[in-house]
A and B are shown apart, each in its own frame.
Chain A
Amino acid sequence: MPIVDCDVHPMYERLEDLAPYLSASWWRHFEDRGVRTYARARDRYNHPNKTYRVDALPERGGAAGSDPDFTLATHVLPFGIAAALLLPQQPYGVTAWGNPDAVYAFLAASNDYFRDAWVGHDDRYTLAVTISPHDPAAAAREVRRHAGQPGIVGIQLLLMDRMMGDASFDPIYEAACETGLPVAVHQSGSEGCYYTSQAVAGGVPRSYGERHVVLTQVGGANLVDMIVSGTFERFPQLQVVMVEWGFSWLSPLLARMDLFWERDPGAAPLVKRRPSDYAREHFTFTTQPLDEVETRQERAALFGPEGLDKMLLFSSDYPHYDTDDPGFVIRSRIPAAIREAVCYGNAVRVFGPQVLRGADR
């Protein structure tokens, strides 16, 4: 059974790696001023240990996830992963940048680099093209520039303060539908840190762990916002992949959406059908971090909601500290009846058969 791992993070090793993809003036700009490549405010929420696995540090040196051969040797090959969806994390830093031109110079260079150095290196690697909301027109151009190239299977949309139902995203969704690429959304780390980012409900969590408990709320809020804003009425082909936002909150949220909508449909005039129908048709969710259910009954409950079998995509989050071990999770946690769908069937439906271009090895 092929496994598609829908959340693997590659890194470039040095900023110089991007130099060949930058104009001389942008290269000078980034070299002079430096590049912020992380989004979380580390003076506000500091991870008490390390955000990466120490055993993921490449033997040749460099950051965890910066050596495509080491990731192959220690993660892809041992677990028999047929395709790894690469979601570069260094671009997450641009969510704290203020200059859209600098953002798009950097993102274009980063996309080109990972296309050549990773996707071009091994056909088990596939890439989601990273774009940000700074400039939706530039984002749409960047999507179209990469669409159709081998191994380009999706779009990684970074989130800032505007939620995904906002009409300013429409040029991006147009490009996504035109190119047949799904929009993947991964938390950037900026959530709850800045005026330019989205927040969790209620206030300011005190610590990294407390914030991490409720970080999933932002995923839920954007799902609600897209449905309430009529996004899927405007873009019936659009597919959204929610990466690392959890999924056990989904069925109570959808139940509440349906209940309030059925009671008063006029309160959400852009919603034309049962809200949960949009969710089931347009959203998929990656499995990591899988809730650690204790009993067989809890496991049945976790995977029990109707239609969930078609909405889950396996993911590991390699090389981060909370990686879900593919062997253990697939064998011991994901029910046998939905294992094929979760491991590759749903991924092929959402990303297209090209996601498995390296599966014949």
Chain B
Amino acid sequence: MIVDYDRHVAVDDYARLFEHMSQSWRKHFERDEFVGSVRDGAAHIRLTDRFGDEVLEGSEPGQEIGLSVAVPHQGLTINGWADQVAAKAFIGALNSHSEHVWADGGARRAAILVTPHDPAWSARVIRDYGAARQFAAVALPLSAVLLGSEQFDPVYEAAVETDLPLIVHFSGVEGHYLGAPPLSGGVHRTAYARAVLMPQLAESHIASLCFGGTLAKYPPLRVLFSGFGFAWLPSLAWRLDREWRTFRHDVPWVRKPPSEYVFDQVWLSSWPVREAAAEWEPLLAGSQAQARVVYGSHAPFDGDTVADVRAVLGADADDVLGRSGVLPAVMAGARA
């Protein structure tokens, strides 16, 4: 069965979320500028300043897809919001919309949206929805605190307890909105530069999950970095292990080379698979890093179909398309 781990859904009108909110929150959000900003939240990383991207409401998975995990990416953009209290009402409404509209508990499932700004609340949300068939993962937007911080432990404990993988996907405001995570270097003026450098976010969080001891502390924890590409993983793995060898006495809780944790608990989704056209052979071929890549279409944005993956990866495509480690219970039918 082919699983699409990187499918995006969005509402085309924020007013559709009002029925999932209390009366007082509904009154709060009923304002022209918020309702009118629906495209801002839906537009992902805009490579153009034109606010013309179409908002696609939950397009159907392709024919070969046995199961798709939808990430309501408007909810990820709360990492650029100023009001993190309202943000919880917003993603709460999106979760309810996922449960009733986008996910069917069969081939279409969704990720539970949580917030890095309130781990205790997030853990409760994960436990509330964790057993529901509609949900197959937890989507954690990125704050400016790296994921190896102990403050996220309640989220990891709930994810482990409910046997749900964590999906980490950028919202597009990283390196752009104040309060959202920075990108490396200084101020990047173009969306193009931000899109190019986005994988470094995943690198930093993976380094933090390793050196902070999170992956060692929660062996069943599974983390999928989605939308960040994958060709950079061998380089990161070499560097992780070199620095660990030099500084391991400083992080005694990291008990083996960090790459071993990564190659056991971390996955990357395949978009944009064409990165591999140049890099798959020299850097990834036969490496342990290659075995961490799972299929993600990135649809309905400029994404990759199953045919694209087959065209670029050739003989390796079946491994990527058939890999089951992120959702072993679902794939085995135990969580059907």
Give residues in A with beta carbon < 8 Å to B.
48, 161-163, 198-210, 212-214, 216-218, 220-222, 224-225, 228, 246, 248-249, 251-253, 255-261, 263-264, 266-268, 289, 291-293, 297-298, 300-302, 304-305, 321-322
A221-B197, A252-B275 known; A210-B211 Cβ under 8 A: yes
Is there an interface contact between A291 and B146, defined as CB atoms closer than 8 Å? Answer: no
Residue of A nearest to B237 (CB): A291
Which of B204, B245, B247 is close to A217, meaning CB atoms less than 8 Å apart?
B204
Is there an interface contact between A209 and B197, defined as CB atoms closer than 8 Å? Answer: no
Which of B15-23, B67-75, B83-91, B280-288 sits within the interface? B280-288
B130 sits at the interface (CB 8 A): no
A200-B184, A206-B148, A217-B204 known; A267-B190 Cβ under 8 A: yes
14 CB < 8 A contacts A-B: A202-B200, A205-B207, A209-B211, A210-B211, A214-B200, A214-B207, A225-B186, A225-B188, A251-B231, A266-B48, A268-B190, A301-B234, A301-B284, A304-B281
Interface-central residue, B207, B231, B245, by most chain A CB under 10 Å? B207
Chain B residues contacting A202 (CB-CB under 8 Å) are: 142, 144, 146, 181-182, 200-201, 203-205, 208
Is there an interface contact between B275 and A249, defined as CB atoms closer than 8 Å? Answer: no
Which B residues, 238 to 276, have Cβ-Cβ distances below 8 Å to chain A? Answer: 238-247, 249-251, 272, 274-275
Is there an interface contact between B231 and A255, defined as CB atoms closer than 8 Å? Answer: yes
Is there an interface contact between B275 and A228, defined as CB atoms closer than 8 Å? Answer: no
A210-B211, A213-B240 known; A267-B47 Cβ under 8 A: yes
Is there an interface contact between B193 and A218, defined as CB atoms closer than 8 Å? Answer: no
Chain A residues contacting B238 (CB-CB under 8 Å) are: 248, 291-293, 298, 302
Interface-central residue, A210, A221, A259, A304, by most chain B CB under 10 Å? A210
Task: Say how far A53's CB is from chain B's closest CB, in angstroms.
Answer: 13
What separation, in Å, do the CA atoms of A217 and B203 have in the docked complex? Answer: 9
Chain A residues contacting B47 (CB-CB under 8 Å) are: 260, 264, 266-267
What separation, in Å, do the CA atoms of A210 and B281 have in the docked complex? Answer: 29
What separation, in Å, do the CA atoms of A275 and B182 have in the docked complex? Answer: 23
5 smallest CB-CB distances across A and B, nearest first, come from A221-B185, A209-B247, A202-B204, A304-B282, A217-B184
What separation, in Å, do the CA atoms of A181 and B176 have in the docked complex? Answer: 35
What separation, in Å, do the CA atoms of A246 and B237 have in the docked complex? Answer: 13
A201-B184, A225-B188 known; A213-B239 Cβ under 8 A: yes
Main SS at interface, chain A: helix
What separation, in Å, do the CA atoms of A291 and B289 have in the docked complex? Answer: 15
B192 sits at the interface (CB 8 A): yes
What separation, in Å, do the CA atoms of A302 and B272 have in the docked complex? Answer: 22
Is there an interface contact between A224 and B197, defined as CB atoms closer than 8 Å? Answer: yes
Chain A residues contacting B249 (CB-CB under 8 Å) are: 48
Which B residues, 109 to 147, have Cβ-Cβ distances below 8 Å to chain A? Answer: 142-146
A203-B182, A252-B232 known; A220-B197 Cβ under 8 A: yes
Is there an interface contact between B196 and A224, defined as CB atoms closer than 8 Å? Answer: yes
Chain B residues contacting A212 (CB-CB under 8 Å) are: 243, 246-247
B187 sits at the interface (CB 8 A): yes
A206-B211, A210-B208 known; A248-B242 Cβ under 8 A: no
What separation, in Å, do the CA atoms of A297 and B285 have in the docked complex? Answer: 9
Is there an interface contact between B204 and A257, defined as CB atoms closer than 8 Å? Answer: no
Chain B residues contacting A213 (CB-CB under 8 Å) are: 203, 207, 211, 236, 239-240, 243
Is there an interface contact between A267 and B232, defined as CB atoms closer than 8 Å? Answer: no
Chain B residues contacting A291 (CB-CB under 8 Å) are: 235, 238-239, 242
What separation, in Å, do the CA atoms of A61 and B111 have in the docked complex? Answer: 62
Which of A162, A203, A210, A264 is close to B186, meaning CB atoms less than 8 Å apart?
A162
Task: Say how far A205's CB is from chain B's closest CB, in angstroms.
Answer: 7
What separation, in Å, do the CA atoms of A326 and B131 have in the docked complex? Answer: 58
What separation, in Å, do the CA atoms of A264 and B46 have in the docked complex? Answer: 11
Is there an interface contact between B191 and A267, defined as CB atoms closer than 8 Å? Answer: yes
What separation, in Å, do the CA atoms of A221 and B196 have in the docked complex? Answer: 9
Is there an interface contact between B204 and A298, defined as CB atoms closer than 8 Å? Answer: no
What separation, in Å, do the CA atoms of A5 and B274 have in the docked complex? Answer: 37
Is there an interface contact between A222 and B185, defined as CB atoms closer than 8 Å? Answer: yes
Which of A200, A209, A252, A258 is close to B250, meaning CB atoms less than 8 Å apart?
A209
* Interface mask (B301-336 → A, CB under 8 Å = 1, otherwise 0): 010000000000000000000000000000000000
A203-B145, A224-B196 known; A249-B204 Cβ under 8 A: no
